[in-house]
């Protein structure tokens, strides 16, 4: 089919289905430490409000995405791993993170 005859389906279309053949692995869920405890005051505040640590919040946000098949924690100590595992049952509204985003050219 030529590009002239192809139109990308809209996600709002009830017949739209996203099919991924390859797993998506999230490698930087904590933004190179920016979302680790003490990395960003805004992330720490949001996590504290939820009663968890900011690393668990960041990993939980990544795990909440239906397109994320694997989320790597990057933990190197038992304490970090213990903190990261708080994210397992976390339900996060991704809209709450909009103010934490950084444009790619500034990251």
Q: Do residues 93 and 57 touch, judged by C-beta distance below 8 A? A: no
Q: Which two tokens stand for residue 86?
A: 């708080």
Separation of alpha carbons 82 and 65, rounded Å: 22
Q: pLDDT digit string (tens) for 79-90? A: 999 988 888 666
Question: Is 1's pLDDT higher than 50?
Answer: no
Separation of alpha carbons 47 and 30, rounded Å: 13
pLDDT band for 98, please (50, 70, 90 cuts): confident
Overall pTM surpassing 0.75 (yes/no)? no
């Amino acid at each position: 089919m030529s590009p002239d005859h192809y139109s990308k389906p809209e996600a709002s279309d009830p017949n739209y289905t996203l099919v991924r053949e390859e797993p998506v692995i999230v490698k930087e869920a904590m933004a190179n430490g920016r979302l680790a405890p003490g990395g960003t005051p805004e992330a720490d505040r949001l996590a504290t409000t939820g009663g968890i640590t900011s690393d668990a919040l960041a990993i939980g946000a990544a795990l909440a995405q239906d397109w994320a098949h694997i989320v790597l924690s990057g933990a190197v100590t038992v304490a970090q791993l213990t903190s990261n595992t708080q994210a397992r049952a976390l339900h996060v509204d991704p809209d709450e993170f909009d103010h934490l985003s950084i444009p790619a050219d500034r990251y």
